[in-house]
């Protein structure tokens, strides 16, 4: 009896202690040592809803904290998941900053009127093509759409001239897409903005018949590498990153860039924005300024993530095809309609 009670009490106490310890251990625990070289007027801490790759953002956060002394707590999730969560949270949101991998979710939050304008320091560093004219958010990184293929399955003569060709019968069952994720949905939103609704719906119907649906870009690349798929539609950096690491998942994969302003040459812009309801707006603006600053863009360029830097004239790493050579189509980053894309994809039965 007594012994049992003691054991139960001990379990209860240790559970509480562990929880308290757990809840105290935040992610942004970069040493906030020698603070404030130029963090004038901003201090304290911020909460970032982050849909970008965690490791990359953690590198940027560490650099930011080192420079300003401002602590950053990350909440990680997917673009649309966090974007919609922000919309539901409204002014009650604990978030100060929202970071995405692609533009449609930024437009969703901007459409709900939840963003405060980004400071001109942050947006002036970014070419106009990579930020909305409204100034509600700014781009800070970009990724190129690619056709990843297994050379032993697809000869260079068989490569599709356009992304739209994948709806044709000869591609049935041969390629993969990650239909459920924001990455692919951003590509569809580019097709919609370039080709119009009717053509896009027809293309999606073709994809439903032809494509194998995978969970993510990595899974697609692995399947292409293993020969389970002939090809897949992904972003460039998955391949670049794996080649830089060990090549275990990409040694039998080559990239085909559509170019020629084809929808398949779409350059998807990652966004950053400051919430109107931010508890610490000064520090939040500072963080976005850091992302588009030379220091932040260099961290991005030199990281293992291998996404494109797009601001402060920082060049991408030598492993990447220069942005000018991508021949990306001109797409209004503020006009990518994620909501409509989702309902069209539902209609086609892709999700």
Residues 84-123 interacting with other proteins (rule: CB under 8 A): 84-85, 87-90, 92, 94
Q: Is 20 in the site for other proteins (CB under 8 A)?
A: yes
CA distance 96 to 44: 12
CA distance 170 to 8: 66
Q: Mask: binding to other proteins, 255-284, rule CB under 8 A, as x and -?
A: ------------------------------
Helix axis angle for 54-68 and 294-302, nearest 10°, is 140
In order, the DSSP letters of 96-116 are SEEE-SSSHHHHHHHHTT-EE
Closer to other proteins by Cβ: residue 305 or 328? 305
| Binding-site entries | 53, 101, 237-238
CA distance 348 to 200: 10
Q: Is 11 in the site for other proteins (CB under 8 A)?
A: yes
User: Which of 42, 46, 70, 74 contacts other proteins by CB under 8 A?
Assistant: 74
Question: Beta strand 97-99 with 267-275: parallel, antiparallel or unpaired?
Answer: antiparallel
Identify the CA nearest to 235 among candidates 218, 210, 222: 218
State in angstroms the smallest separation of the CB of 162 from other proteins.
25
Q: Within 10 Å of residue 337's Cβ, how many Cβ atoms?
A: 18
User: Which of 75, 153, 243, 294 contacts other proteins by CB under 8 A?
Assistant: 75
User: Which of 39, 42, 46, 47 contacts other proteins by CB under 8 A?
Assistant: 47
Q: Is 295 in the site for other proteins (CB under 8 A)?
A: no
- Chain mean position to CA 103: 8
Closer to other proteins by Cβ: residue 81 or 298? 81
Identify the CA nearest to 47 among candidates 83, 74, 80: 74
- For the segment 173-192, give every residue that binds other proteins (CB under 8 A): 179-182, 185
CA distance 88 to 261: 37
The count of chain residues that interact with other proteins, using the rule CB under 8 A, is 71
| Binding-site entries for Fe cation | 53, 101, 237-238
DSSP-derived secondary structure letter, 229? S
Which stretches of 112-227 are assigned E, i.e. beta strand? Answer: 115-116, 138-149, 175-177, 211-213
State in angstroms the smallest separation of the CB of 260 from other proteins.
29
Closer to other proteins by Cβ: residue 2 or 34? 2
Closer to other proteins by Cβ: residue 18 or 40? 18
Closer to other proteins by Cβ: residue 77 or 317? 77
Q: Is 213 in the site for other proteins (CB under 8 A)?
A: yes
> CB-side exposure of 79: number of CA atoms within 13 Å?
23
Choices 36-44, 122-130, 163-171, 210-218; region in contact with other proteins by CB under 8 A: 210-218
**Contact predicate 80/185, CB 8 Å:** yes
Q: Is 15 in the site for other proteins (CB under 8 A)?
A: yes
Q: Is 299 in the site for other proteins (CB under 8 A)?
A: no
State in angstroms the smallest separation of the CB of 30 from other proteins.
12
Report the length, in residues, of the chain: 351
Query: Dihedral angle at the C-alpha atoms of 85, 90, 91, 92, nearest 10 degrees?
Result: -50
Closer to other proteins by Cβ: residue 15 or 315? 15
Closer to other proteins by Cβ: residue 221 or 334? 221
Identify the CA nearest to 255 among candidates 149, 132, 134: 149
Closer to other proteins by Cβ: residue 85 or 202? 85
State in angstroms the smallest separation of the CB of 83 from other proteins.
8
């Amino acid at each position: 009896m007594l012994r049992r009670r003691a054991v139960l009490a001990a379990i209860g106490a240790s559970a509480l202690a562990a929880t308290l310890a757990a809840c105290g251990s935040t992610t942004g625990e970069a040493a906030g040592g020698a603070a404030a070289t130029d963090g004038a007027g901003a201090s304290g801490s911020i909460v970032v809803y982050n849909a970008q790759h965690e490791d990359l953002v953690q590198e940027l956060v560490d650099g930011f904290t080192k420079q300003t002394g401002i602590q950053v707590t990350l909440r990680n999730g997917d673009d649309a998941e966090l974007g919609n969560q922000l919309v539901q949270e409204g002014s009650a949101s604990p978030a100060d900053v929202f970071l995405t991998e692609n533009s449609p979710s930024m437009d969703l939050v901007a459409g709900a009127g939840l963003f405060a304008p980004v400071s001109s320091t942050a947006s002036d560093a970014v070419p106009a093509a990579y930020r909305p004219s409204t100034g509600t958010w700014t781009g800070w990184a970009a990724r190129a759409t690619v056709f990843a293929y297994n050379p032993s399955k697809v000869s260079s003569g068989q490569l599709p001239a356009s992304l739209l060709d994948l709806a044709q019968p000869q591609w049935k069952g041969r390629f993969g897409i990650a239909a459920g994720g924001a990455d692919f949905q951003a590509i569809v939103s580019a097709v919609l903005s370039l080709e119009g609704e009717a053509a896009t719906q027809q293309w999606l119907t073709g994809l439903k018949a032809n494509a194998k649906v995978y969970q993510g870009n990595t899974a697609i690349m692995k399947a292409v590498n293993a020969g389970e798929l002939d090809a897949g539609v992904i972003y460039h950096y998955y391949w670049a990153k794996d080649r830089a690491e060990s090549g275990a998942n990409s040694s039998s994969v080559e990239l085909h860039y559509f170019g020629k302003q084809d929808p398949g040459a779409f350059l998807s812009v990652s966004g950053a924005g400051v919430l109107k309801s931010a508890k610490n707006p000064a520090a939040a603006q500072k963080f976005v300024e850091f992302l588009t600053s030379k220091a932040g863009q260099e961290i991005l360029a030199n990281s293992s993530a291998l996404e494109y830097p797009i601001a402060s004239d920082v060049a991408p790493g030598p492993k990447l095809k220069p942005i000018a050579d991508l021949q990306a189509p001109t797409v209004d980053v503020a006009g990518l309609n994620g909501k409509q894309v989702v309902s069209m994809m539902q209609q086609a039965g892709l999700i």
